[in-house]
Structure 1
């Protein structure tokens, strides 16, 4: 790491709890009540005895959304966002190197080559993580309107969703100016979701040929199409969602890149049952998702087997419910990023990074990181490193947003 800082070993019981309180900060920036301060570079969590290392060297840096691939196929590099653009972290030396300058969005690293794909304005780009060589793949104004962005397993296609036609704003209206650092759960998000879902804006899914830039559109709909993901193993299979209030939508779907094979993955069995934050297993055989039967009452991690159509469920304790889950590369464990005091679980003491292990019909848990100082308006979005030895997450527990990793193995 390039930024000078002290090494803190917080191993005395209660040391973390006795640390000076940090005023809640807007995600991505320091608290306005006090000057921004560097947290420790490395420490052992006093509550869990797991080692934590800060990976980023610039305040305001963040890891990618939980299902967006951020690692090279070789497992030696991690891609993060910074206030200046994109940066690459060497996971062996932990050295941070700037890669792409300027604000970008919808970032994902390829599973085959050492390239990162992203959108900047109305153009899709590919940049080599080692050389920085960059090329424009395609320019299309509709790319500004979309959401969800993915690259397939053999890196021949990109995919996403976009608005099919421009929407005229109401007369004499001024579009709201949302701050860049508003976080994941900003005030009024629920109302926004309701309005956007009810608007029934025409959308479609699209693919882009990475070599030629040719665009193909399909699945034209007035559903709000979002969270587009490719199978990690099947280059022709797309996972996407119908976005909106979870209790009002049939959320989780798959489709082939030629527009065939539309398939609903989860079917509601009771009123107010919700399912979402879906993601593929590493082998591409299962789609995992957060299931609540009904909302805020019973919590599960559910997995739909694509070959058999069968669903398995692991019970999750209310206090251990997480905003997002992820699966380890060996498929023996899951991560969870906990939930804030205003989460759907509504219970305290859930602000942790968890390691979950399936045991029978439930998930047993181990706490890895104390996030009691973390402001959950910024979601931690945990993910396993390719070797399964670390879990990477983002946090504002010391004020500014930074990228951290916690060692899965407990410190001796």
Structure 2
């Protein structure tokens, strides 16, 4: 396989057994395919194309998917072990990603590629980027967390969330870096002895971003933080010291002004909440509902999508609701959930998290599922909300 290679995965259309909606399976290669993390920009060409990652020919790479033709185009030619993701930048029409401590830019049309920045050489550089490369709205900077290198002992297996609690307890020095896309100059604009992740830039304000204090939600004192990347100012977003809420999975609404999140009380009792708040802590709303979903996403507050729970195989594993579900805001509460699709994914590491996300026009949901063994990409039209079946506590997956 090489950069530019086309793929035409057989596409499968089928009727969802619960909702009656037509599901469009977009990929069907004998290897995992998944869309980018739900907070990370991936869409271009008015939502008719997107960037995704896939394991093909025993190697993970980035690919472009064109919905109008079903054409899949390999965008990178990577070598070695690792997971690749990154973010698309509309201002530059380029995708930015890290691979083995090197920051790359690749044009989504020409596939022209260049190195933006490289971490200090050596097997174990002192500070390394743990993942995403998040561009600012004007396409001038990449912002990224840098964490101390963790040497691995021989014979150690690496798997999802293996060091999650360890890093929370260790409170490592974490640095927020700003990298100039044109020159590659890197500056540390903020640092703290705390496990920090989830860098998300506003799609409207080039100077604004959020990050989080990472860890078990019920033990993190303050999850969401705002940053002005030009001045270095840092502030709490949705101050958690005023109540007993644990929150997380924050993301920017499409307006680049508001931030959505969900959570519940630190005790794990009572209703769940979905909230949204402006970056400066104005226009704050929280809606309580007795429903659970692992992740939520939306373009605004009007309609939100969730992915329920992991699927189960045996009745002894407990009650599961592995459904793509929709909620609609009526001005006072969220109506629903409505059942859109049966994903039945295992959530076994990030490649099998459904992470449902709206298409930019709000008409379809894109999600990932390993329902058939390998993770694949699925797309379903929302259609008439009222026409969908209700998801009730008795609904079994």
TM-score clears 0.5: yes
Q: CA shift at 1:121, angstroms?
A: 1.1
TM-score by structure 1 length? 0.80
Say which is worse superposed, 356-365 or 82-91, in terms of deviation: 356-365
Say yes or no: does 1:387 pair with 2:337.
no
2:263 aligned partner: 291
Deviations 1:13-66 (A, max 9, x none): xxxxxxxxxxxxxxxxxxxxxxxxxxxx11121210212111124231111111
1:281 aligned partner: 253
Q: CA shift at 1:104, angstroms?
A: 5.0
Choose the corresponding residue for 2:371, options 382, 394, 397: 397
**1:121, 1:144 within 8 Å by CA — same for their partners in 2?**
no
User: Structure 1 residues 61 and 386 mapped into 2: Cα distance closer, same or farther (>3 Å)?
Assistant: same
1:9-408 equivalences under 5 Å are 41-58=12-29, 59-72=31-44, 74-83=46-55, 84=59, 85-102=61-78, 103=82, 105-141=84-120, 144-163=128-147, 166=149, 173-174=153-154, 176-178=156-158, 182=159, 184=160, 189=162, 192-249=163-220, 250-268=222-240, 273-297=245-269, 298-307=271-280, 309-318=282-291, 321-328=292-299, 332-340=302-310, 348-364=319-335, 365-371=337-343, 373-377=344-348, 378-408=352-382
**1:147, 1:226 within 8 Å by CA — same for their partners in 2?**
no
Higher strand share: 2
The DSSP-based 3-state class of the residue aligned with 1:68 is coil
Deviations 1:350-389 (A, max 9, x none): 2111122112433222211113x32133311111112222
Q: Distance in 2 between matches of 1:403 and 1:376?
A: 14
Q: CA shift at 1:279, angstroms?
A: 0.5
Q: Distance in 1 between matches of 2:254 and 2:63?
A: 25
Structure ranking higher on relative contact order (CA contacts 8 Å, 6+ apart): 1
User: Structure 1 residues 360 and 74 mapped into 2: Cα distance closer, same or farther (>3 Å)?
Assistant: closer
User: Structure 1 residues 268 and 324 mapped into 2: Cα distance closer, same or farther (>3 Å)?
Assistant: same
Q: Distance in 2 between matches of 1:283 and 1:295?
A: 33
Runs of 4+ in 1 over 4 A off after TM superposition: 165-169, 269-272
Q: Distance in 1 between matches of 2:279 and 2:164?
A: 29
**2:62, 2:85 within 8 Å by CA — same for their partners in 1?**
no
Q: CA shift at 1:288, angstroms?
A: 0.9
**2:19, 2:339 within 8 Å by CA — same for their partners in 1?**
yes
The DSSP-based 3-state class of the residue aligned with 1:195 is helix
Where do 5+ consecutive residues of structure 1 fail to align? 6-40
Q: Distance in 2 between matches of 1:168 and 1:44?
A: 48
Q: CA shift at 1:336, angstroms?
A: 1.1
Deviations 1:49-88 (A, max 9, x none): 2121111242311111110111115322111101140111
Where do 5+ consecutive residues of structure 2 fail to align? 1-6, 389-397
TM-score by structure 2 length? 0.83
Aligned-pair Cα RMSD in Å: 2.6
The DSSP-based 3-state class of the residue aligned with 2:230 is coil
